[in-house]
């Protein structure tokens, strides 16, 4: 009786989000947590207002946290993970170092979401900021390296919460990937 009472007290949106995350975790548990390296790691879902922890091994890190903001959910992010961007676009994101801190680089490999073919005619940019701080928004355009590969330097100048929005655009298609990261220390 108590769990039903708790579900009735939560908002429908919060309950739906909790059910989606529970379904994802149940799917991972059913397959034994095995699969390609781009599979989400089996970690506890974040509580409202928290960011899921994901370190270099996908299991956690004392120095930083990173999550993908998708459909109102925060999902753990593994380095090199293929992420849907919307508009038929997807990207594989590689940070060096991972998770990013201080001066870092982001290699973006843009793909057709359905066929996984590399796309070389895409404008890629990055908007990043510290929400809640009044530093403003930094915007950078990526340098095309060929075969759907784009390079972005970034400088997370101080420890704290950062929002990174990778924006993809080509004729007739637009997509965006929003990442949330928390750095506790800044690499020098």
Which DSSP symbol is given to 78?
-
Is residue 179 very low, low, confident or very high in pLDDT (cuts 50, 70, 90)? very high
CA distances (Å), origin 84, targets 116, 160, 178: 11, 26, 11
Residue with tokens 């655009």: 169
pLDDT, residue 167, reads: 98
Listed in sequence order, the DSSP H helices in the chain are 2-9, 12-30
Backbone phi, psi, residue 47, to 5°: -80, 160
Is residue 71 very low, low, confident or very high in pLDDT (cuts 50, 70, 90)? confident
pLDDT digits (tens, 9 = 90+) for 114-160: 999 999 999 999 999 999 888 889 999 999 999 999 999 988 888 88
Is it the case that residue 100 has pLDDT exceeding 60?
A: yes
Please name each of the domains of the chain with its CATH number: 36-183 (2.60.40.10)
Please give the Cα distance from 117 to 75 (Å, whole number): 25
pLDDT, residue 182, reads: 86
pLDDT, residue 3, reads: 34
Is residue 186 very low, low, confident or very high in pLDDT (cuts 50, 70, 90)? low
Please give the Cα distance from 159 to 137 (Å, whole number): 16
pLDDT cut 90: percent of the chain above it? 44
Is residue 187 very low, low, confident or very high in pLDDT (cuts 50, 70, 90)? low
Name the residue among 174, 46, 186 with its Cα closest to residue 130.
186
């Amino acid at each position: 009786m108590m769990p039903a009472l708790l579900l009735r007290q939560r908002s429908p949106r919060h309950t739906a989000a909790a059910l989606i995350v529970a379904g994802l975790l149940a799917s991972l548990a059913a397959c034994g947590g095995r699969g390609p390296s781009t599979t989400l790691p089996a970690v506890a879902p974040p509580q409202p207002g928290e960011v899921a922890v994901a370190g270099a091994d996908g299991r956690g890190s004392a120095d930083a946290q990173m999550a993908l903001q998708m459909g109102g959910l925060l999902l753990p992010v593994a380095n090199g993970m293929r992420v849907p961007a919307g508009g038929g676009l997807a990207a594989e994101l590689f940070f060096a170092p991972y998770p990013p801190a201080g001066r870092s680089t982001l290699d973006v490999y843009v793909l057709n979401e359905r066929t996984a073919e590399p796309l070389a005619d895409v404008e890629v940019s990055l908007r990043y900021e510290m929400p809640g701080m009044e530093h403003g928004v930094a915007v950078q355009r990526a340098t095309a390296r060929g075969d759907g590969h784009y390079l972005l330097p970034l400088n997370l100048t101080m420890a704290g919460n950062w929002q990174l929005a990778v924006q993809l655009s080509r004729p007739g298609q637009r997509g965006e990937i929003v990442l949330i990261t928390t750095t506790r220390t800044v690499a020098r």
